[in-house]
Amino acid sequence: MKTFPFIYNEPKEFLSSLQPKQWADFLLGEINPRFSVTAIKARVVAVREETDDTKTLVLKPNWLWKGFRSGQHVPVTVEIAGRRVTRFYSLSSVPGEKHLSITVKRQKGGLVSNFINQNIKKGDLLELGEAQGEFVLPKTLPSKFLFLAGGSGITPIHSILKQLQSLKFNGKATLLYFVRSFEDIILRSSLEEIAKQTGWLEIRYIFSEVSKEGYDSGFLTKEILQKYTKDLKSYSVYVCGPAPMQTKALSLLEGNEVKSELFMLPGQTSLQVKKTGTVDVFLSLSHKTIQVKGERSLLEELEDQGIYPQSGCRMGICHTCVCKKTVGSVTDLAKGEMSELGEENIQICVSRAESNLELEL
């Protein structure tokens, strides 16, 4: 049985609990769990297996959903062992379709990606936030696109390709999709259907681990780019994949118009180092002092000690984990730069402790 959401002992506490939106959410939730006046709730209407470790969830959101642009990502919140956890996933569907879709690949050590793949089924509810991100098409379309995707970085690119199809794009687009093996290609049937129906999309799979006859093997190189693009400078380029791939792409595409969406596996933001000793981190709002090694991100080291600050993407994109640092110095792992001593706002998912710290947590 669902319990009543407000607990009070004194008349003053009872009166302060009379929050209209909370009452409405409780009552609407009794009628239909998807109903809410405060939260975007989405029912899972279908689950499709893309590969052995990747699933697409088809979602029907409630009336609070405001829509999205192809290429954007969305915060997805689930409850795991009594704790609400949020991660960001790119939408693999296209605006105008009846339902939304997110495509989630299991990651080694990925708390939410593993939970979704193992546990989420048709009929379940997920909580969403508003779509965000600038990895989107421009108002005026260029005549030629080059899309570079790595692993599950194909998901926002798939959405963009579907959008180009709906816009009746009549230029040229080349997709170079770097993936471990043929069996690991995500959304393959949909990608190839777009190519078949449009005629302007050329798809090239490049396998990094298990080679296949008739296909290229290896990683992104100047030679691969030259093989499949003529007059490279004339292409508008979109890149989404692991950090090493993005770094390589940006170095090879200097002078091109490039949009990138960073996709990182857990731990890649940490740029782990070995240190001796510990540093003190004083959490001023909870009046706690803990010791961390300063070898990984503050978020990871806090979670190791049972402290779970609000967080989202865990890669420095969403800013959900921003907090004020009033004392000490950190290294920004996204930029590779050490901050000044003293007061500033930091993202703890991409900040590593360099000295004793005081944080407003």
Q: What is the domain partition of the chain in residue ranges?
A: 12-128, 144-262, 279-359
Contact 357, 341 (CB under 8 A): no
pLDDT at 42 over 70: yes
Domain 12-128: which topology?
Elongation Factor Tu (Ef-tu); domain 3 (2.40.30)
Q: Given a cut of 50, is residue 281 above it in pLDDT? A: yes
* 298 neighbors 292 (Cβ within 8 angstroms): yes
- pLDDT-derived band at 271 (thresholds 50, 70, 90) equals very low
The gap between the terminal CA atoms of the chain, to the nearest Å, is 34
pLDDT value at residue 268: 46
pLDDT band at 4 (very low <50, low <70, confident <90, very high): very low
The residue that leads in pLDDT, 331 or 116, is 116
Helix boundaries (H) for the chain? 11-16, 20-31, 111-119, 154-166, 188-198, 222-228, 243-252, 298-304
pLDDT given at position 108: 82
Q: 53-62, 140-149, 255-264: which has the minimum mean pLDDT?
A: 255-264
CATH architecture of 144-262: 3-Layer(aba) Sandwich (3.40)
Over residues 183-196, mean pLDDT: 97
CA 51 to each of CA 38, 190, 245: distance values in angstroms, whole numbers, following the listed order? 35, 13, 22
pLDDT at 306: 87
Q: Please tell me what DSSP assigns to residue 23.
A: H
Distance CA 92, CA 103 (A): 6
Task: Please indicate whether the domains covering 12-128 and 144-262 agree at the CATH topology level.
Answer: no
* C-alpha distances out from residue 113 to 85, 88, 245, Å: 11, 10, 21
Report pLDDT digits (tens) over 342-361: 789 999 988 899 889 999 99
Confidence of residue 111 (pLDDT cuts 50, 70, 90): confident
At the fourth CATH level, the homologous superfamily of domain 279-359 is Beta-grasp domain (3.10.20.30)
Per-residue DSSP letters for 153-217? GHHHHHHHHHHHHHTT--SEEEEEEEES-GGG-TTHHHHHHHHHHHSSEEEEEEESSS--TTSEE
